[in-house]
Chain A
Amino acid sequence: MPEPPSEPWADRQRRARLRLLRMHYESRVGHIGGNLSCLDLLLVLHQEVMGPDDRFVLSKGHAAGALYVTLWSLGRLSDEELATFHKDGTRLSGHPGAGAIEDVLFATGSLGHGLGLASGLALAKRLKGEPGRVYCVTSDGEWDEGSCWETLIFARHHRLDNLTFLVDLNGLQGFGTTREVADLGPIADKFRAFSVPTVEVDGHSREEILGALRPNDEAGPHAIVARTRKGGGVSFMEGRMEWHYLALSEEQYLRAVGEVERA
């Protein structure tokens, strides 16, 4: 566990949202919706849960911005570095690159890889007798990938108690809602059918996220299905497909900033 942050959650959340919006606006980068939807999960995990022995894999690599801003909130990336996001010569590519920054263990962006990688890290901890947990955040559309289910079988069969994965259930994917594209129904039930202990939370509620991440004795891996809103925190983006891709205009940026500041 890290030192508990002195700054109240609402302030931390607001600062991170504003920084994320600014970074994406300044670099003229889209994908903001799926970054906002998982930002709270990443903040709570990194600021209040993960300690030095823990490891993190961002399986939904298209939320790299949210990860970079989270690392910035911990002082592990500077403002100057964030200003290079998406630009020539940056270490902060649109999907996390290999070997670019120390805190990113794996290049991700092709969906359906992160959970297997996280399982390898978790298994290594067990084999080496090392403490700490491995956390992995996946998207919801990502569960279309067969490899996710391969890993689910593996992680459960090997009882990877030190693995927790969180699903950013924002209900949208590349070209439609998850319901329209490939309806998995209630995904938590699918995980439970694999005997994976699964908790469902509001993915924008710090208390619920923290509660779900509290250690428990159930055999792992542990799944957290976080109901989120694509573009969470910015009303005109919430649940709207176009914010999977679009960059912000100046007018939209100022409107979004105003909303987050007033919230």
Chain B
Amino acid sequence: MRDAFCRLMVEAARRPEFVFLTGDLGFMALEPLRDALGPRFINAGVAEQNMVSVAAGLARSGLRPWVYSIAPFVYARPFEQVRNDVCLHHLPVVLVGNGGGYGYGVMGATHHALEDYGTLLGLPGLRAFVPAFDEDLAPLFGRLFEADHPSYVRLGLSEKPAGAEVPPFGPWRRLLDGPGWVILAAGPLAGGIWDAARTLDDAHRPALWLLGELPLDELPPAFLADLDRSRRLLVVEEHVGHGGVAEMVAATLLKGGRAPARFEARTALGYPSGRYGSQRFHRRESGLDPASIVAFLRSEDVP
């Protein structure tokens, strides 16, 4: 997703109000953006608290700052600056965290972002976006430049299945139709699940939904219709359970009196073995990988 991101940022450089701040990240990637933006490209150094406060000052002056770093250095390190300086004032700062979930793989736990949107969504007015495919970025970014609220974008690797047709970006998308479980997935891991699930036999094939924007507003009628039919919901997210999509959607369903008969949540479990590895390795350890999901679906009796 990073190449698409860089390309779109360069395109956005024609917007005079656009300012890009990076926490010393972007070597061999963001040079074209630096050249395109000139003084509006700011390497704020390894100082993320200041970077976010400066962004708030820029936004308060009518500019459109985007703040970029590895995800934890965007939401965790400067959390209070995001809270007080940006969110209390409803400023349209866009925080871009690269490497959502276990995206930085074997680089280690300090570079993972397992509680980003759960942490940030407690803040007033902030909306979190979890694009799943490269194609998602253009429509999302167009919207973010017009937004009147703080935003967080969790970037990852596009995992689009070969030959798949991606529906246009939106908060809710149905990627796959099926009579089995309803799966609600957030972010790029949906791509792998989509690829694995589309070959399942008719009876086990799930209806796969992809969530791209948080917090949840209303649950779409088509999703509820799928759920009414299936009565079984599996939420999959590369995020800890606390504050995650599973908790959010469960609360929303309960409030609406629509609790499904079965509810399962696959969430990031941290580092259960104490060992480190690729993003795939960590997903596998948490049961978030396509093989685990498909094995679960197959193990379920067809009602």
Chain A residues engaging chain B, CB cutoff 8 angstroms: 98-99, 105-108, 110, 112-113, 115-128, 146-147, 150-151, 153-154, 157-158
> Which segment, of B42-50, B217-225, B256-264, faces chain A?
B42-50
Nearest opposing residue in chain A for B89, CB measure: A98
B85–A113 contact, CB under 8 A?
Answer: yes
Q: In whole angstroms, how far apart are the Cα atoms of A177 and B45 in the complex?
A: 33
Q: How many A-B residue pairs have CB under 8 A?
A: 99
Which of B50, B61, B85, B89 sits near A125, CB closer than 8 Å?
A: B61
Q: In whole angstroms, how far apart are the Cα atoms of A107 and B81 in the complex?
A: 11
Nearest opposing residue in chain A for B81, CB measure: A113
Chain B residues engaging chain A, CB cutoff 8 angstroms: 19, 39-40, 42, 44-45, 47, 49-50, 52-63, 80-81, 84-85, 88-90
B57–A123 contact, CB under 8 A?
Answer: yes
B61–A116 contact, CB under 8 A?
Answer: no
Nearest opposing residue in chain B for A61, CB measure: B84
Nearest opposing residue in chain A for B44, CB measure: A154
A151–B50 contact, CB under 8 A?
Answer: yes
A150–B56 contact, CB under 8 A?
Answer: no
19 A-B pairs, CB-CB below 8 angstroms? A105-B60, A107-B89, A113-B84, A115-B53, A120-B53, A120-B54, A121-B61, A123-B42, A124-B63, A126-B39, A127-B40, A127-B63, A128-B62, A150-B49, A151-B54, A153-B45, A153-B47, A153-B50, A154-B54
Interface of B is mostly: helix
Q: Given the known inter-chain contacts A117-B57, A147-B53, A154-B44, please indicate yes or no for A124 contacting B62, CB distance below 8 A.
A: yes
Residues from chain A with a CB closer than 8 A to the CB of B44 are 154
A120–B55 contact, CB under 8 A?
Answer: yes
Sorted from nearest, which 8 A-B pairs have the closest CB atoms?
Answer: A120-B57, A116-B53, A124-B61, A150-B50, A150-B47, A120-B54, A98-B88, A147-B49
B39–A127 contact, CB under 8 A?
Answer: yes
Which of B42, B57, B63, B88 sits near A116, CB closer than 8 Å?
A: B57
Q: In whole angstroms, how far apart are the Cα atoms of A127 and B61 in the complex?
A: 10
B84–A124 contact, CB under 8 A?
Answer: no
Residues from chain B with a CB closer than 8 A to the CB of A115 are 53
Chain A CB within 10 Å, residue with most, of B84, B89, B90 = B84
Q: Given the known inter-chain contacts A124-B62, A127-B19, please indicate yes or no for A154 contacting B47, CB distance below 8 A.
A: yes
**Distance to closest chain B CB from A242 (angstroms):** 28
Known contacts A110-B80, A118-B57; 11 further A-B pairs (Cβ under 8 A): A106-B60, A106-B89, A116-B81, A117-B54, A117-B57, A119-B57, A124-B61, A127-B58, A146-B49, A147-B50, A147-B53
Q: In whole angstroms, how far apart are the Cα atoms of A208 and B19 in the complex?
A: 38
A151–B53 contact, CB under 8 A?
Answer: yes
Residues from chain B with a CB closer than 8 A to the CB of A127 are 19, 39-40, 58, 63
